[in-house]
Amino acid sequence: MKRYSLANHILSIESNDPSIQSIFDTVSVGGEGSHIGSISISQNSTLWTTNGFATGAWTHDKNLDRTGVVTIMLNQLSDDVAKFIRMCNMFYSGDYGGFTLTLTNNIGDKLATCIDCYIQGIPSQDFAASAANQRWSFTCGKITFGS
């Protein structure tokens, strides 16, 4: 029997830039007791597409593009929100290397590796009667699923 729990997934965010790494070390988002609502990892392109012709012929086109986006739905009360805001503010003020994002489960299986990623910006900061979720996104140079 297969079982699933979001609490069994952790996204590690590690800077490839020594100056950013010295400030943040590795930021781990998710796991039991976290304020995470979801983690979404998607590639921008499909590997294969097929084009048909009026004559009945077709071609299969292969695309090796593995760029994509990692989106984290995070409650605004999470301590990670302040870290992400600080990351964005640092990138506004200078040029730094990207991040490597790694999604693992609680037994250490690597589910996805995303390299050369950059935080896309600070999402809307809403203040209302109850705590809201925020969508934080990273644009990625290469996403690989599995080990």
Where in the chain are the domains? 6-71+83-132+140-145
pLDDT of residue 28: 93
β-pair partners for 99: 15, 117
Q: What is the pTM of this model?
A: 0.91
pLDDT tens series, the chain, 147 aa: 678 899 999 999 999 999 899 998 899 999 898 999 999 999 999 999 999 999 999 999 999 999 999 999 999 999 999 999 999 999 999 999 999 999 999 888 999 999 999 999 999 999 999 999 999 999 999 999 997
Place of tokens 């998710």: 30
- Tell me how far apart the alpha carbons of residues 124 and 134 are, in angstroms, rounded to a whole number: 7
- Tell me how far apart the alpha carbons of residues 117 and 74 are, in angstroms, rounded to a whole number: 18
- Closest CA relative to residue 34, chosen from 70, 84, 80, 69: 80
Are the C-beta atoms of residues 140 and 114 closer than 8 Å to each other? yes
Query: What would the DSSP string read from start to end of 32-43?
Result: TT--EEEEEEEE
> Which residues 6+ apart lie within 8 Å of 123 measured at CB?
134, 135, 136, 137
Helices vs strands, H then E, count in the chain: 2, 9
pLDDT of residue 25: 87
